[in-house]
Structure 1
Amino acid sequence: MRLIILTVLIFFSFAFSSLGQGNGLYAFIGKNNKYGFIDKYGNVKVKPNYLRVNDFSDGLCFVSKEVSSKGYKWICIDTVGNEVFDIKDNFPETGFRESFARISSFTEQWFINKKGKKVFDKTWKDGQGNFKNGVAFVSDVEFTDFYPIDTNGKRLENSTYSRIIVNSKLADPVEANKDTLVKFKQDSLWGFKNLKGDVIIPPTFYLVDRFENGLCGVRIHYAPFVTINDFYLDAIINIKGQLVNQVPMHCYLGFQGDLIVYYGGFHFSGGIYYLDKNGRKVIPKE
């Protein structure tokens, strides 16, 4: 039996193209134009020594210091920057989740544990996403026919799936941090109501995100030429509708952990930046 699993694909899906929070650490670009990691206060926890970095998960992160014949040479570091292992000329398809990561040689894929050792004693041609609740999806052909395996690498069912779409925004959203104001649109402008339907913040914004931790990203200036797929906002407001900060924010991601994440330019360009729970910019303390 063939099925198709389709879930909501959120604008910024979890892939290594964009960076956010993991293990309380946030990627930043140092004065040397290389990547390192800071905590939510801007303290440098991992020095900026890397050309490329992914997110921390399960206390580990794949990073690269050098270019290889296949693109980048990836190593795995811990939360203080110590190298734990390298994956030679292979590519990290995922970060660690539930103690496993999926690795690719570009012709086949396999899983490793947190010591960098290959597990399950088998390979596949393709895979989708990480392990979640003890299940991962792999395939013996490229791009289709995915099936679930357990944490022993054992196939769980005979069904195959045409596509698995991960509906995660860099990390699983924390429902407890969401506030109870609901956005609404009137005459092409956005405002917010409470759960009873009372208008709390009049519709004066050209675009809004959602409230989390008492703050919300909004667009207060008309922007006729915003690049497609660039979620561009230019201010932060509080639950009273008051401006907390005005700052151009491209590819706005909202709260990832304790900090708001956004970029300096469209398509995740221009550097990655952070605001704290007071809406103030977090500056790396190099």
Structure 2
Amino acid sequence: MGEGSWGYNDDKGNVVIPVGKYKFLNPLDEKGMILAELKNKHGYIDIHENIIVPFEYDDITVFSQELACVKKNGKFGFVNRKGKIVIPVQFENETFFRKNGLALVTKNKLYGFIDKKGKEIIPIKYQNANHVILDSLVTLKKETKWAFFDSFGKQKTDFVYDEIVTTSLNSKDTFWKNGLILVRKNNQIAYLDKNLKEIIPFGKYETGERFNKNRIAIISKNNKYGIIDEFGKERVKAEYDTIEHPEESYHESEIFVAKKGNNIVLLDEHGKKIYDKLKDFSFDYCRMDKKIEKIYHIQNLNGKYGAIDTNGKLIIPIIYDEFEDFGSNYNAIVKYKGKFGLIDSKNKITYPIENEAIYADRRELDYYLINKNNKFGIIDKNLKPIFNFVFQDLSPCFYDTKNRFIAKQNDRYGVIDRGGRIIIPFEYSKMSNWIEYGPGENYHFVTKNNKEGLITKEGKIVIPTIYDSLFYNDENTIILSKNGKYGVKNLQNKTVIPFDYEKIYSDLAFFPKNKEIEFYVLRNGKYFVINNKNKVIKENISKKEVEDKFSYLN
């Protein structure tokens, strides 16, 4: 009864508004009103289910400046908190009132602004319009040009701008709160202050970006880039080939990266130099004095790696051949003079730099897998031994990377758990880990005595190791060969196609799942096609056609 419906409980879990009646309920607003949907119509109720705004609207918004926008028969208007229509339903767009007391409305595909009484403060006659949350200014477009107006409807500039750019401050849009307004005219840019005076005139810079919350912007002149402040002063001289904000954790960072030739310069969010003469850099986080702090990995022009803090102080000397991220952990993997080890954020060696390789999953750090003198072992994240260096090879099983490992001893592979218990005996000369086009994470392809087979992750034999070759086709078919003959079996080791053929090919890419699988087979020097019931469905296939079709398998 309550599926797809909403209700309210009080803080003790008592039902106040039962489910089963309203298709949607918004949280209580500051005046104790609840936006609700009932029988595909929208209105407002209070916590006692008294109807305040009747359920007669196709849609309704939250209240803004004590008015809510309603939709009825494809048109929009406004109601007050008593449910009374105060601005008739007549507009073509859903809208709301900003702090400047205006709402942007459209009628007959033209734009204008109204006040809370519905009066046209700026006539609805313009081709486009824009207003922002933080400013009282609005902009309107007449034919192809833009102009500024104030919130009283007074025109402040001529219609001369090709573009007026908004920016963002604390996730709210603004024209000038970040410092200056970027405008474009006749393929030139300028910057205006809040009084719409040109602080930086048209033509001074070739390109310019909007001002950010730190009240600076990237500009260029003579194809060189710099950074200016809101007074027009060049905070960073226009001498770089590029300046941009690098990407950090899937968003644009506040810092700047400037490039001049092969030299990279890091600048902080205010344009102050952090570090220069770099070949590359990246963001990282590490534990410093029990706190997680942001740092920058840096690579100098000679290709060596180190790290600095956000003030540019060198915390890891630039001496390493490789330097993996800390990833918010205490230790990082480094390579120095051809060997690998671990260091902490103070460059203290926490695990000797004397190993051929070290592997760790930094995103979910649980252990370090180490190759030392061509023997493999594992230490935990606290650098305590899990496995001593007794294995010829060691790798985490993809189906349980924390607790199971494919190991090699005495030239044979098996599977062990984290406690050293043998799950699959050491009796195979080859053992696959999970592969993308295999039978899934529950199986291993294995080789024993130069014969191939398939076992489960618990070591149970699915396809015995008696075959000369094994090719996984799909979840129902595996192509096998034995004594020069090919056949097909399924994952239950049941024969699908008998071992009567000199060759079998199949390519599922050519056949949709809902179509019968076709096998190209060779017998007595002739190619033909059979289905999975071993029935011939096509004869007289040329050798060239088969070789061309399956050349990637040979």
Instruction: Please classify the TM superposition score into its range, dividing by the shorter chain length.
Output: 0.3 to 0.5
TM-score by length of 1: 0.40
Higher relative contact order (CA 8 A, sep 6+): 1
Q: Which has the larger radius of gyration?
A: 2
